[in-house]
Structure 1
Amino acid sequence: MPFEITVPRLGWSMEEGTFVRWLKKHGELVNAGDALFELEGEKAAQDIEAVDSGLLVIPSNAPQPGTIVAVGAVIGHLVAEGEAAPAVVTGASASVTSSIPKTSAPANPSPAADTSTLEEPAAAPSVRRLAREMGVKLASLEGSGPAGRITANDVRTTGSRPSTVAANHVLSSIASPRARRVAKELGIDWKGVKGTGRDGRVRERDVRTSQSQPRPASTSTPTTISSRRRTIANRMIASRERTAPVTLTTRIDATNLVGLRLQFKQAGEGSPIPSYTDLIIKLVALALRKHPTLATRDEGGQWIVPASADDIYIGMAVDTEDGLVVPVVSRAATLGLFDLAKQTLSLIEKARTGKISAADMQGGVFTITNLGSFGIDAFTPIINLPETAVLGLGRIRREPVVIDDQIVARDQMSLSLTFDHRIVDGAPAARFLQTVSQAIENPSAWLLRGDI
């Protein structure tokens, strides 16, 4: 009996994905567990394994690379020798019946298989999708990434087009106070008004005259929204709609944290040297052992708390060219600090080279996001569903503070905790933030107690 090959669900909210390519040829023998095709779901591409064995049937109307496919859609079949595959309909295309002849040699591939098995330039799935959206052929590009890999910047540089500005559009840099006031009242940008005064000065009459003149046609063009950007947008909206978010912010002394990392750097022991984010991931994981409610996951209306310290997986927000992704550090509470640093470094590298998998982003119970490197002091992070809380890290800044009636220079930073008030009340959340603050202010004692 033919076995249907369907599009699986790669994430809790996934309803559709992007078909990337077949990894097997039409007529090829496939064993259970073999990588069958590549599918891009919520923020990551993943090789989909066969769950049965047989000869692969790829119909002529199978999805092409880059096609959006719905979860559960049938895109092919696995059959026994000589067995005919039923018709497969994709979208509005006509159904086609494909079969494998009873022979040991693979049959000639269908047109769909020919297209999908052609060798493509080295590029991440998200980069290939961007090229399709911008109408850029990857084969015509020379990659600037490692080993000639094509990056998103290569595609954008090739696909960009200079904008045009109307020849009669004159920007004035001078306007009279009356002209500015009238422009504000009328809702007119006086900088776009052609001045008739001395040296092109914009006067009141120029503003009022421009109001009656037809405005030049807009030169703006619509922005192409990638499927990853849509996924991020949908998840952000879902987070706001399904949670009762409250954000608590506190200012802490990070002098000892800075000193500890400096000691790691000076000692030169261990590779890689733990970053500030690595240290805080470890400290937050230890704090969650004392406050497990903040690590609750909302699983279909059931609130699940980690059963043990080994179940504390911490997500870290990573900024990439194609949008935000949140890889997950496994066993953060029990993992050694240097092993944790190696894991985060590997996850960040995979995220920024487009090699992150869905498995690398699953199981998180708490997320940390750091905007300190951008000079941000405090912000309001958004909860990463189905988690309960997220911690935002601000920049570390040397500031004067009063200690024992003396003004001294100390390293200060802000922490912003957003939590779901449906699950956690304000006081328990505040106590957790207190614990995290104490851990960061005295990291050595906490890390030694955590068996780093």
Structure 2
Amino acid sequence: MATEIVVPRLGWSMDEGTFVEWLKADGEQVNAGDMLFVLEGEKAAQEVESFDAGLLYIPAESPRAGDTVLVSQVLGFLLEEGETPPEYKPADAPVSSVLDEPNVTPPQLDKSEKSSINRAGRRNIASPRARRKAKELGIRLDGVSGTGRNGRIRERDIVAAAENGVVKPAGTASSAVIAPTQSGTLKPLTNVRRITAQRMQASAQQTVPVTLHTKFNAKGLIAYRDSLKSSGMTPSYNDIIIKLAANLLRECPELNACWTAEGVYVYDQINIAFAVATDNGLLAPVINQVDKLMLDDVAEYSTELIEDARAGRLGEDQLTGGTFTVSSLGTFGVDHFTPVINLPQSGILGIGRIVAEPLVEAGEVIAGQTMSLSLTFDHQVLDGAPAAHWLQKLVHALTSPREHIS
């Protein structure tokens, strides 16, 4: 009996992905455990393993490289020797934008509702769960921006709108992207770019960000790292800062938390996400329970994750679960910047470059080296004073790392 090859769900919020390539040829023998195809999920491309064996049959109408595919969509079949392939039914292209929407008689609309829909240019596309949640919370769909494909409204969009008070009054025009006014070329969005844009928009809507900037004498940090060069793997400056930040987050738990409608949700574990620039876009792999790791472990994990990120080998599980984020632009010659909070979190630390400049010590001007830090925090979760006090503690630890790294 033929075994269907279907699109798996790589992450809890994944509804669709991008088919990248087959790793086996049509008609080739596939064994259980073989890597069968590559699928790009919300943040990374991942090889998908076959759990069954058989001869691979790839229908002529099956998705091609770059095509958008839905979770559970059939891609092909594994057949027994001499077995006739079953009929293949390609997924209808529009399905992804209106998936699981019931076929109902359109309700009668009053004039205000009709005018609202006419101005928007089309009706709101929402899943049944989103519609039920909207009805339960008394929210009008024309005031909600959908994060699904083609603007489809999901249940979490309704919840986010209710929690953050961003629902538009009935009859107001929905927000729209201003169209280009000059000739140019449209670059299609990759999954990574699309998801990054959605998360940045969500962060802007759901947080009240404030950024604090500071600068400190990096002499002690540089000396500490230099002293480690003779031992095994030399940690980067980022590794040292990640470790010290994790150690200090217990002293300001609100920075290892997120905002919810019911209150501040403080995470039990300290899992640090750190930004990695790749050819496919920005990724933020996660090191779990950093406060319980040795510095050597942090350096080893970060090196492996960076290599995997740039080689496209990261799995979805390596990109989720972060409770605080660290981002560095120091290698690009940047001093201060404004990092964007990575939801669902309340804080992100930006690392600037180390630069040679005059310093004053004991009333004397000397040649020194400084580093800049930028802390963005959600003012809904904590106030400026505790955030500044935590940043001050981090700076103090970085001037003498050996005394603070366990």
- Band the TM-score falls in, shorter-chain normalisation: 0.5 to 0.7
In structure 1, what is the equivalent of residue 132 of structure 2?
A: none
Partner of 1:40: 40
Q: Which residue in the other structure is 1:258 paired with? A: 222
What residue number does 1:432 align with? 390
Aligned twin of 1:65: 65
CA gap of 1:83–1:297, structure 2 versus 1, over 3 A, is farther
Deviation at 1:51?
6.1
Instruction: Say whether 1:280 aligns with 2:244.
Output: no
Q: How does 1:146-295 map to 2 (within 5 A)?
A: 220-265=184-229, 268-271=230-233, 273-295=234-256
Output aligned runs, 1:44-443, within 5 Å. Answer: 44-50=44-50, 58-76=58-76, 85=86, 87-91=88-92, 220-265=184-229, 268-271=230-233, 273-296=234-257, 304-307=265-268, 311-443=269-401
The letter for the 2-side match of 1:269 is S
Shift of 1:52: 6.8
Question: Secondary structure, in 3 states, of the residue corresponding to 2:353?
Answer: coil
Q: CA deviation at 1:46?
A: 1.0
Identical positions, percent: 47
Whole-angstrom CA distance in 2 between matches of 1:78 and 1:390: 46
C-alpha distance in structure 2 between counterparts of 1:21 and 1:323, whole Å: 19
Counterparts of 2:93 and 2:350 in 1: how far apart (Å)?
A: 46
**CA contact under 8 A between 1:56 and 1:76: conserved in structure 2?**
yes
Amino acid at match of 2:279: E
Q: CA-to-partner distance for each residue in 1:388-446, whole Å, 9 max, x for gaps?
A: 21100111223333334333333222211112223333333223222222221221100
Structure number with greater CO (CA < 8 Å, separation at least 6) is 2
Q: After superposition, what is the alpha-carbon deviation per residue over 1:183-206, rounded to whole angstroms, capped at 9, x for unaligned?
A: xxxxxxxxxxxxxxxxxxxxxxxx
* SS of match in other structure, 1:315: strand
Q: Do the aligned partners of 1:388 and 1:419 also contact (CA within 8 Å) in 2?
A: yes
Query: CA–CA distance in 2 between the matches of 1:318 and 1:404?
Result: 39
Is the Cα contact below 8 Å between 1:314 and 1:329 reproduced in 2?
A: yes
Distance 1:295 1:24 in 2: 44
Shift of 1:367: 1.2
CA RMSD of aligned residues (A): 3.3
Q: Point out the more displaced range, 1-10 or 386-395.
A: 1-10
Supply the distance in 2 between the matched residues of 1:57 and 1:300 (Cα, whole angstroms): 50
SS in 2 for 1:394: strand
Gaps of 5+ in 2: 95-181
Shift of 1:280: 0.6
SS at match of 1:43: coil
Question: How high is the TM-score relative to the length of structure 2?
Answer: 0.67
Letter in 2 for 1:424: L
Structure 1, unpaired ranges of 5+:
94-217
How many correspondences in the alignment?
318
* 8 Å CA contact 1:59, 1:88 repeated in 2: no
Distance 1:431 1:379, change over 3 A: same
- Partner residue, 1:17: 17
The residue type paired with residue 17 of structure 1 is: G
Which residue of the partner structure matches residue 186 of structure 1?
none
Taking a change above 3 Å as real, the CA distance of residues 33 and 240 of structure 1, as seen in their structure-2 partners, is farther
Matches of 1:279 and 1:250, distance apart in 2:
18
Letter in 1 for 2:330: G
- The offset of 1:340, in angstroms, is 1.8
Partner secondary structure for residue 9 of structure 1? coil
User: What letter matches 1:43 in structure 2?
Assistant: K
TM-score using structure 1 length: 0.61
SS at match of 1:240: helix
